[in-house]
Amino acid sequence: MTVLEHTARDRVQRVLYFASGIGAVVFGLLLLTGPSGILAARDQVQPWYWWLSVIVVVILPISFVGTAFRVPLRALHAIAITCVAGFLLVQLLWVPAMTGDWLADNGTPWIQGINALPSTLVGVAWTSSAVWFFPLSQLVLVPMIQLMASQTSTWAAVLDGCGALIFCSILTAMTLAVVGAARGEDKAARDARSLAAVEAARRTREREVTRINAIVHDDVMSVLLTASREGAPGAVSASADEALSSIASLTTPEHERPGGYSGPEVVAALRAVPADLGVAAHVDYSFGSCPSVPADAVAALSEALGEAVRNSARHAGDHAGLAVSITANYRGVDVLVTDRGPGFDPAGIDPLRLGIRVSIVDRMATVTGGRGTVDSRPGRGTTVAIGWDAP
């Protein structure tokens, strides 16, 4: 049994391939008869070319109906590329393969009426700007072949070429947009899974700290109490010394420990601050390639963010639209806290009320690369911007 891909982009591409197969069936039936149809062209081109054109332009795309959900995507992409390249080859060979000077009944090459199919396939198989070569090719090939194969006017041929360019461009753009949207959905899902994993790790560490605290209380403290009694054996005293060393290592503040935080870890730590404080806030976040953020910078950011969130909840109220935006990328970390509360005049704040200045602005100033500002006006809400700049 073939294992198929399960991402949104993969599913969308398979659906588009299947739809292209259905389209090939419909186009084939519509173009089968008539003066410019597939059957009418059989006696006007070389037999080998007639079979080649039917197989490449119609039959091969129809195969997507049976393969779109059964074979690996790389095989489907190979079929699509073959269809697109084959279609262009068939277009170029149409005139050399003709048995007469002009098509009968002033007809036109039937393949001109099915170029919508390869223009769709090229947008599914490729996602770069190179896909636009196909619509542009139709602007040149359609009028050129039409003028050489039939007794049509130059103006009519040019109009047909412009129509082919517009129609093919629309289909290619629509296909690219659908595949691009699915790719964006996959990225969002990956980011969410990454942050969920970081958050789970953080909660696991918290549970571990709780367990260690229990051990310290139940086991280590009992050893210390025993060691403090008169006449305690020397072995117990040695155990007490060892316990003290363990406590010193376990109780070292997190920001004094070596190492740093990755971009996803910083985002996970900061986005959890409002929830940990029990404050309702709309949190947006994004992260890219971010250098390691020092632990003391993360601690300062968390503390400053917590103070900004608490101030908003305290002074702006629950209906002030508190929003937190977190970004971690190659430039560093940026956090923006906004609300639509009553606001205030920073110049009118009593100097003895040091909460905002000390807990936010001065707190960030203690960290290398840290920064923080508070902007507020009466009746215009409050904006707090804190961040850490990568060296």
**pLDDT, tens digit, for every residue of 17-50?**
999 999 999 999 999 998 888 999 998 999 999 9
The percentage of the chain sitting over the pLDDT mark of 70, rounded to a whole number, equals 78
CB–CB of 293/331 below 8 Å?
no
φ/ψ (deg, to 5) at 107: -75, 170
Among 136-140, 273-277, 288-292, 358-362, whose mean pLDDT is lowest?
358-362
Average pLDDT, the chain: 81
DSSP 41: G
Tell me which H or E stretch contains 277.
helix 273-277
φ/ψ (deg, to 5) at 339: -145, 165
CA dist., res. 374 & res. 308, Å (int): 9
User: Over 50: is that where the pLDDT of 251 sits?
Assistant: no
User: Over 90: is that where the pLDDT of 174 sits?
Assistant: yes
More confident residue, 74 or 128: 74
Residue 51 confidence (pLDDT): 95
The percentage of the chain sitting over the pLDDT mark of 90, rounded to a whole number, equals 39
Tell me which H or E stretch contains 386.
strand 382-389
User: Over 80: is that where the pLDDT of 252 sits?
Assistant: no
Domains of the chain, by residue range, sit at 8-189, 206-256, 260-389
User: Over 90: is that where the pLDDT of 128 sits?
Assistant: no
Q: Which amino acid is present at 389? A: D
> Which of 64-78, 236-250, 282-296 is most confident?
64-78
φ/ψ (deg, to 5) at 325: -120, 125
Tokens 């292209």 correspond to what residue? Answer: 20
In CATH, 260-389 is 3.30.565.10: yes
Residue 352 confidence (pLDDT): 45
CA dist., res. 140 & res. 155, Å (int): 14
Partners of 261 in beta bridges: 293
pLDDT classification of 186: cutoffs 50, 70, 90: confident
User: Over 50: is that where the pLDDT of 257 sits?
Assistant: no
